[in-house]
Chain A
Amino acid sequence: MTTTPEEVLSPEPTSVELGLESVEKPRSMFRRGWEVFAENKLALAALVFLVAFILLCYLGPMFYHGNGTQSDMEAVTLPPGAGHPLGTDENGADVLAQFFKGGQLSLNVGVLGGVISAVIGTLYGAISGYFGGWLDAVMMRVIDALMSIPLIFLLIYLGMIWGHDATLMIWVIGLTGWVGITRLIRGESMVIKVRDYVAAARMMGGSGPHIIRKHILPNTIGTTIVNTTFSIAGSIFYLSTLSFIGLGLESPHADLGGMLNDGTQFVDQGYWWMIYPAAIAIILVILAFNVIGDALRDAFETRLQKR
């Protein structure tokens, strides 16, 4: 902390001199968390990559006007070159333009689906853990049942019932991916609810919903944020998987996985530009979210240790 001239000239003693405040200003938990996060070089690299990828996918189309949907039979399966930096597909549509659009769709569905999962999982876990008793028992048996259905079957099944467009896929993924978070939040909720301040809040007449909102949820924010990140990675993972087996988003509105579903049909012909850009993007984006989630977990755990 640097001293400004005003402070030197000030006749009034500062609070530090009076011993009213610790010498170092208490930093917010997010600031301390960020310091730990920033020490993790891999996580920083992942963050930089993700920001770059997001900018590329959303700003790219403003500067590059290739057409990813229109077919052009004169320019079928062109390798990367002038006019088509990533070549063209079997219909002569521009692959780079598809890549921007596909990246946007993967990110949109991934982030929104991941956030829906996290919200449902957190609320479900907080309620189940806080109220306990028979409600908890019933809610956890439902979780047991959901966990024993392989997720991909649930996704395929819901996709069949609701249909396969981007908005519906957000809900399909969001409504199936929340089970893992629930268990973690439930555990934390059970620990928090026996703390003295929660008992005090209850004695002053705080209702269950009030306590969950004011005490349980704010105290599980670390776990929620960390698992939202993992959940986004999972959503992109499952969306690309569904699209790859033809049960997700299809061209001309395909995500990166849907592009691969198209491209891999031509693997024998060696049209690598229809496969590898999307494949590498999926791997790196999922990896980046996972690395960031891991680093955030370390950051929040350190915060708890320093407290």
Chain B
Amino acid sequence: MTAYIVRRTLQAVLTVILVSIITFGLLHLLPGGMVRGLLGTHANPQSIAQLSAQMGLNRPLFMQYLSWFGNFLHGDFGWDYFKQQSVGSLIQGTIGQSMYIVGLSLVLSVLISIPIGVLQAVRRNTLLDHTLTFVSFVLWGIPTFLIAFLMLDLFVDQLGWIPTSNEIASFHDALTQPQAIILPVACLTLTSFAGYSRYLRSSVLDELTQEYVRTAIAKGAGRRRVLYGHVLRNAMIPMITLIGLSLPALVGGAVIIENVFNIQGIGLLTTQAALTNDFGVTLAITMLTAALTVLGSLIADLSYAILDPRVRLD
């Protein structure tokens, strides 16, 4: 087990380093990109050179990378030249509500996908199964922003069930205004549960053909006991890996949701930074999100190994 943990952790560290090289490298595909972004396209060469020197952009690329990544590891994410604030404090003020919404949606979509996936597997190839498959196929295909917009239009504008004047500007708002996060969380849940329920359906179907199911039935275990006591438990374990793999998509969905519902989270921060060509902020957030995602899938894989001893043997 220790060997597995060490190997898997080293792999995660390597991934984070590669992500940092890729994101940092992309930024420097365009010569003077960062400075030109800040000063506008009509800046004169003199001011470009001056700001480049000030920001340390005239050093060799490798040295720039090392100092940037070193700072990043120490929690120094850079400076936002537009808002005149450190990127770290910007992230601190926004990451709470984003993680809250993502976390809540993740838990809800897993909880919803379990009964639906099991139901579809038990009633396989019935009208109900086909309908649910089709519904999740459609939900999976519609862009998140459209689901969000349609729900906003329906529940806020048409039906008036939820008041419009909700703005989530802090983690405190997210906690204290449940009515304002109902729709964002519902959207994110709707767009992400489909993948889980589809997986669970096939996973339960696989497990149902296993011999231990026949044994359990032969020993007189009831339908419910077989299904929830044996089959579901085994079918759920690989879900952990799937959840780890689906984290990037979920975080990506949150970016869109925050834009539509005007939640001052990390996704909206990214979009605003992109609109003002503030490369440093986008770079830092992209890097941080990827690092958190890697950490998430590391945790997923390690808990998988704890639950299923077969994994750590190979």
Q: Which residues of A contact B (CB under 8 A)?
A: 141-142, 144-154, 156-162, 233, 237, 240-241, 244-247, 257, 260, 264, 267-268, 279, 282-283, 286-287, 290, 294
Contact = CB atoms under 8 A, between A and B. Distances in A.
Nearest to B282: A157
- Of the four ranges (under 10, 10 to 19, 20 to 34, 35 or more), the interface on chain B belongs to 35 or more
B29 A150 contact: no
B66 interface: no
Contact of B255 (A144, A150, A158): A150
Contact of A241 (B145, B150, B248, B289): B145
Contact of B149 (A144, A154, A157, A264): A264
Interface string B2-29: 0000000001001100110011001101
8 contacts: A149-B22, A151-B248, A241-B145, A244-B143, A245-B256, A247-B275, A279-B149, A290-B137
Chain B: interface secondary structure? Answer: helix
A145 B149 contact: no
A245 B148 CA distance: 12
Nearest to A294: B137
A161 B12 CA distance: 27
B85 to A, nearest CB: 19
Contacts of B138: 287
A288 to B, nearest CB: 9
A260 B275 CA distance: 18
Contacts of A149: 19, 22-23, 248, 286, 289-290, 293
Contact of A157 (B11, B26, B251, B297): B26
A148 B293 contact: yes
Interface string B143-164: 1111001100100010000000
Interface of B: 11, 14-15, 18-19, 22-23, 26-27, 29-30, 33, 37, 137-138, 141-146, 149-150, 153, 157, 245, 248-249, 251-252, 255-256, 259, 270-271, 274-275, 277, 279, 282-283, 285-286, 289-290, 293-294, 297
Given A161-B30, A283-B142, A153 B259 contact: no
